[in-house]
Amino acid sequence: MSDAPRLGVYDHICDFPPTLSGRLRQWIFDSRVFRKLLLDTIDERVSRSAEDSHFRQYMMFRDLWVNQSCKAWLTEVISKYDLPESMGGGCVDGIKINDRMVSWPYLGTYARISNFCDVRDFSEFKTILVIGGGFGYEVHTLLSFFPSITKCITVDIPPYLYVQTQYLKAIYGESVVDYADVAARPGIISMSSADKREILAIAPWQLDRIDASVDLLWNSCSFVEMTVPQVKNYASVAERLLRTSAQPTVCIVSYDTEMKTRQEDVLSAFPAFRFTKVDVTRRVMPEECYRECQYLGSMS
C-alpha cells in the first residue's frame, strides 16, 4: 500500500529529455487563453478523479485491517463502556466493525482511553480538563465512558473552539457554557457545586480565570504542535488546577515531529509530575505505521 500518484494533463505535455516538438507543445499550451479555456478544467477533473481513487483505495485497505486487528479489543470496550453515537453531524469517515458504524476519530479515542485505563481507573474522576479537544469527540467519549465525570473544561483555539462548542451543544444542550457566556462573567470563573453536568468550552486566554479542582488533564497530540513556552504556560495553569485534587492525573498522547518541541520538552513542562510510558496494546494502525506514544503522569 503506497501513495497513488497525482495525475494531471500538464505532466504529459513536455517530453523528457526535451525535444523540439515537446517545446512547441509547451509554448502552445502555456498560452493563457488555451489554459483557461481548456486545460485547467481538464486538469482539475483528472486530478480529482485520481485523488478520489486514492482515497477509496486507502479506505478499503484501512477498513479491512481494522476489522481484522481491532475487533477483539473493541468487543472488550463495548462490554465495559457505553459507546456514544459517533456518526452524527453527517460523518462520512466511518468504519463498520462488530456490526456497527464507528467514526474513525472516535475509534482512535476508544483505543487511547482503554490503554490508559489499564493503569489508571478513570471512573474515580469527577472533573476533567481537555486541552485541544478538536471537534469534541474526546470530550463526548470521556463523558460517555465515565458517568462519574460531571464537570469538564475544554480549551481550544478558534475556529476549532466554535466547531467543538456547537457539536457539544448539539449533544448536551444547555449544559455547555460557551466562550461568550464566560466572557460575559467578570472575574474568576468557577464550576457549580451541584452534582449536574457542566461543560465550559473556553479559549486559551480564559483558562487563567478558571478556579476549579481538576482530577484529570487530557491532551491528545497537540502539545508537540505548540512552542515550548506555550506548553509551559498551559502546564503551569493545569498544575494549579490539579494540585487540589486527591488524585491528580495527566494523560498525554504524543508523537515525534519535525517541529522544535519534542516529547521530552512536553513532559518536562510538568515538573510536579512523574511520567510513565503506557503500553499501547490497542491501536488503530499497523505497528509499522503507528507513531503515537502515551504517557501517564502522577503528581510526585
pLDDT for 195: 86
Residue 295 has pLDDT above 70, yes or no: yes
pLDDT for 285: 87
Average pLDDT score over residue span 135-140: 95
pLDDT for 5: 42
Residue 98 has pLDDT above 90, yes or no: no
pLDDT for 287: 84
What the chain holds in terms of domains, given with CATH numbers, is 9-59 (no CATH), 67-102 (no CATH), 104-299 (3.40.50.150)
DSSP 98: T
* List of residues 6+ apart from 137 with CB closer than 8 A: 86, 103, 105, 106, 109
Q: pLDDT confidence of 13, banded at 50, 70, 90? A: low
Higher pLDDT, 40 or 114: 114
Average pLDDT score over residue span 150-160: 94
Q: pLDDT confidence of 286, banded at 50, 70, 90? A: confident
Higher pLDDT, 43 or 247: 247
Higher pLDDT, 272 or 90: 272
Average pLDDT score over residue span 257-262: 81
pLDDT for 92: 81
Average pLDDT score over residue span 151-163: 94
pLDDT for 162: 94
Average pLDDT score over residue span 51-75: 82
Q: pLDDT confidence of 47, banded at 50, 70, 90? A: low
Which region among 11-20, 21-30, 289-298 has the lowest average model confidence (pLDDT)?
A: 11-20
Residue 240 has pLDDT above 80, yes or no: yes
Average pLDDT score over residue span 39-54: 58
* List of residues 6+ apart from 157 with CB closer than 8 A: 203, 204
Higher pLDDT, 268 or 99: 268
297, 253 contact by CB (below 8 A)? no
How many residues are there in the chain? 300
Average pLDDT score over residue span 22-39: 65
Q: pLDDT confidence of 1, banded at 50, 70, 90? A: very low
Which region among 46-60, 135-149, 206-220 has the lowest average model confidence (pLDDT)?
A: 46-60
CA dihedral 162, 241, 118, 97 (to 10 degrees): -10
Record the pTM: 0.81
Cα–Cα distance between 232 and 59 in angstroms, integer? 38
